[in-house]
Amino acid sequence: MVFEEVYNTFSELKNILEEKKQAIIKKDLEKIATCDEMSLALCEKIQKYNLDKENDFSQEQKASLKALGGEIKVIQENNEILIKHSLDVINNILTGILNIAQNEKNSYNEKGIGLKNSESLDISSITEEA
């Protein structure tokens, strides 16, 4: 295992995650999917390096890999926050649409006939007495 190969793989992963962040911001679903596929391939490659066992990296090389790993972690956390925010926005939009649909549904009786403004499904005692 050569340090340059490992470092380049991690750098490539960082670049892909940066691209994914931009794709999330631009709402480019195809680019997001492509970045995910590329990330998975790189993660599989990184797993084959078996970084857990003893290696010949110098302390400086280990420190630079650790720093790069920290950058990757921050980018990934930001991507997760952006995705969660996007899902919250979508959820709020769907909730609004469903509320509008529910209000429209209440404008019709059980037979599907539109109710006039004076008609209501909820009959109060005041309406009955009048």
Question: What does DSSP assign to residue 114?
Answer: B
The number of domains in the chain is 1
Q: Is 19 exposed, middle or buried (0-12, 13-18, 19+ CB in 10 A)?
A: middle
The amino acid sitting at 52 is D
Residue 53, domain extent: 3-129
pLDDT for residue 98: 84
What span, in angstroms and rounded, lies between the C-alpha atoms of 97 and 4? 53
pLDDT for residue 57: 83
**pLDDT tens series, the chain, 130 aa:** 688 999 999 999 999 999 999 999 998 999 999 999 999 999 999 888 877 676 778 889 889 999 999 999 999 999 999 999 989 988 999 988 888 877 776 666 666 666 665 445 555 555 555 5
Specify the DSSP element, H or E, that contains 115: none
Give the three-state DSSP class for 111: coil
